Amino acid sequence: MQGGLTGLEKENLRMGPDGSIAQTPHPAILGSALKHPWITTDYSEALLEFITPPLGSPDKALAFLRDLQLFVYLKVDQELLWSSSMPCVVEGGASIPIAQYGTSNVGLMKTVYRRGLGFRYGRVMQVIAGAHYNYSFADTFWPLLQEIEEDSQPLRDYISTRYFHLIRNLQRFGWLVPYLYGSSPAICKSFMGGKATTLEEFNKNSYYAPYATSLRMCDIGYQNTHELKDGFKATYDSLNSYVESLTQAIETPCPSHEKIGVKVDGEYRQLNTNILQIENEYYSSVRPKQVPEFNEKPTLALKRRGVRYVELRSLDINTYDPLGISVEQCRFLEVMMAFCLLHDSPVISDQERLEIDFNLNAVCYRGREPGLTLQRNNRSITLAQWAGELCDAMSGHAGLLDDNTGDAVYGKALQAARDTVKDPDRTPSARVLADMRAHDEGYFHFAKRMSEQHRDYFRRLERNEAALQKIEAAVDTSIQEQQRIEDSDTLSFDEFLEDYFSQQL
């Protein structure tokens, strides 16, 4: 069970000193957003994304993430990296600049895709920030498990089958993640843009839900509308069924998207008018992943080489940790990965799918509500009872991971989760609201205060000069690589898109 690889991704809005979204382009001093391996942008020029490589422990991944953020603060010291998932001081979609990736066809495709997201869902939703926890089990682990299970299929197919087994359980039990780590129980009123809401007023500039854990993961946040609008839902029965369901959505026209148009007055508004432009448009809390080769469709990468790792996407930015995610969180999630892999995982029925969606929504909106009940196997069960059972069931997995640590660090992370289940006031979401009340401040002033504390943390941080030089070298290389790609383009953008979408096995 030991020797798994941890990779982390963290999004951060660049904010001006006044706390408004930065209107400046992605700083050239950070390198090419198209080709830098560790510092790029997500939806907006203002939305930084930090990506660590897969590393052999949570501590190593967090150290890499720390150095990336320190590097940015050394280069861009007049701006803040926003400490929270939910943006503030949003002056409508026009105030959110879409990310640019240069003049190459692959760069233009990334920008047009984002432009399409803006037309389809609005730009404001796209600048909600999160953290992703990526995990893969050790290569040496799989043949042993396959032998124990007396499975005879090719190893690559077996690994993919087992990862989908894990993914289904992460969906079943995934509500535990926003309960334990959600830290967005409130939002700025500016985020709603004057739209009606059922949220309560916290003060003159903030809304909240009294028992919410993660409004980011609710229907006002970073979610798809395809399930209700288009009747589409990705299928997780197997790798083949997952790829087929996404492929169908990518190839099926959508009437509402057809109204937007594709190329209007000579400018692309979106890549196509289908339910999904590309696979990444489907916003799921967990994804099977394979590393694509240059310009390879993600579904083809999965079909050709199987599942490489799992990406858990349901983490809010940890407002109370300058890195945005803590080592304790990573260790608990590693235990959860082991548990979800080895626990029984039947195919998800239509009824269970409804229960999964209900549970996630209930926990995100009302997770700390006393006596909150969830749905399990057509019956009601309290969150506290179910979460306690899950933590108990994970204790053996924590023990396996702790065998060589000498300090029971995984057991301690699991115990911290148990304590948080027993006392909802320990959750980050409860702490956020308590801090807002204690300081008599709204969500904006709370998040800005925490952002300034994090900036000061990085300013005081001892520098790892070797790591910073490595990041600096990648800046220069990324700029050269972007130029090489732009110089080598021979196709028109129309031809490039036709070739991209015509890729077949």
> pLDDT tens digit string along 298-316?
999 999 999 999 999 999 9
Q: What is the mean pLDDT of residues 237-266?
A: 95
Return the higher-pLDDT residue of 194 and 104.
104
Percent of the chain surpassing pLDDT 70: 98
The mean of the pLDDT values for the chain is: 95
Among 79, 53, 47, 83, residue whose Cα is nearest residue 67: 53
- Tell me the HSE value of 260 on the side-chain side, using a 13 A CA sphere: 24
Residue 53 contacts residue 7 (beta carbons within 8 Å): yes
pLDDT score, position 276: 95
The helix or strand, by DSSP H or E, that contains position 412, with its residue range, turns out to be helix 409-422
> pLDDT tens digit string along 201-234?
999 999 999 999 999 998 776 555 555 566 678 9
Residue-wise DSSP of 354-403: HHHHHHHHHHHHHTTSTT-EEEETTEEEEHHHHHHHHHHHTHHHHHHHHT
> pLDDT tens digit string along 400-412?
999 877 789 999 9
- CATH (residue range 5-371+428-501): 3.30.590.20
Q: Is the pLDDT of residue 285 over 90?
A: yes
Cα 445 to chain centroid, rounded = 25
pLDDT score, position 222: 55
Q: Is the pLDDT of residue 424 over 60?
A: yes
Return the higher-pLDDT residue of 477 and 223.
477
> pLDDT tens digit string along 68-126?
999 999 999 789 999 999 998 888 888 899 999 999 999 999 999 999 999 999 999 99
Q: Is the pLDDT of residue 351 over 80?
A: yes
> pLDDT tens digit string along 355-381?
999 999 999 999 999 999 999 999 999
The span from the CA of 401 to the CA of 410, in Å, is: 7
pLDDT score, position 17: 85
Q: How far is CA 416 from CA 119, 166, 322, 344, 420, in A?
A: 42, 23, 20, 25, 6
Domain ranges of the chain: 5-371+428-501
The span from the CA of 374 to the CA of 362, in Å, is: 8
Cβ atoms within 10 Å, residue 367: 28
Return the higher-pLDDT residue of 505 and 61.
61
